Amino acid sequence: MSEISQLSPQPVWQFFDKICSIPHPSKHEEQLAQYIIGWAEGEGLEVERDDTGNVLIRKPATSGMENHKGVVLQAHIDMVPQKNEDTIHDFTKDPIRPYIDGEWVTAEGTTLGSDNGMGMAACLAVLADKDIAHGPLEVLLTIDEEAGMTGAFGLKANWLKGDILLNTDSEQEGEVYMGCAGGVDASLAFTVEKAELAEGYVAARLQVKGLKGGHSGCDIHTGRSNANKLVGRFLAAHVDELGLRLLGIGGGTLRNAIPREAFADVAVPTAQREKLETLFAEYLSVLNAELGAVETSLDLSVTDSNAPLIALSNSDQARIIATINACPNGVIRMSDDIEGVVETSLNLGVITTEGNTITLLCLIRSLTDTGRQSVESMLASLAELAGAASSFTGAYPAGNPMPTLK
Ligand SMILES: [Zn+2]
The domain ranges of the chain are 3-177, 184-405
pLDDT of residue 125: 98
Topology given in CATH for the domain delimited by 184-405: Alpha-Beta Plaits (3.30.70)
Per-residue pLDDT at 262: 97
Looking at this protein, which amino acid is placed at residue 25? P
Cα–Cα distance list, 295 to 233, 236, 287, 288, 290 (Å): 17, 22, 9, 8, 9
Would you please indicate which residues are annotated as catalytic (active-site) residues?
78, 145
Residue 268 Cα, ligand 1 centroid: separation in angstroms?
A: 47
Residue 360 CA to ligand 1 centre (angstroms): 27
The CA 31 to ligand 1 mean position distance, Å, reads: 19
**Ligand 1 centroid – CA 88 distance (Å):** 24
| pLDDT value of residue 405 | 59
Ligand 1 centroid distance, CA of 121 (Å): 13
pTM, rounded to two decimals: 0.76
What was the pLDDT predicted at 375?
98
One pLDDT digit (tens) per residue for the chain, 406 residues: 899 999 999 999 999 999 999 999 999 999 999 999 999 999 999 999 999 999 999 999 999 999 999 999 999 999 999 888 889 999 999 999 999 999 999 999 999 999 999 999 999 999 999 999 999 999 999 999 998 899 999 999 999 999 999 999 987 788 888 888 999 999 999 999 999 999 999 999 999 999 999 999 889 999 999 999 999 999 999 999 999 999 999 999 889 999 999 999 999 999 999 999 999 999 999 999 999 999 999 999 999 999 999 999 999 999 999 999 999 999 999 999 888 999 999 999 999 999 999 999 999 999 999 999 999 999 999 999 999 999 999 999 998 777 775 5
DSSP per-residue letters across 9-58: SHHHHHHHHHHHHS--BTT--HHHHHHHHHHHHHTT-EEEE-TT--EEEE
Q: How far is the CA of 187 from the centre of ligand 1 (A)?
A: 25
Residue 372: in which H helix or E strand, if any? Answer: helix 369-386
Ligand 1 centroid to residue 186 C-alpha, Å: 23
Return the pLDDT at 218. Answer: 87
Distance CA 240, CA 365 (A): 35
Q: How far is the CA of 115 from the centre of ligand 1 (A)?
A: 5
Q: Which amino acid is at 80?
A: V
Q: What is the DSSP letter of 198?
A: P
Short-list 399, 319, 350, 352, CA closest to 186: 350
CATH of domain 3-177: 3.40.630.10
Task: Say how many Å lie between the CA of residue 111 and the centre of ligand 1.
Answer: 12
Residue 348: enclosing H or E segment and its boundaries? strand 342-354
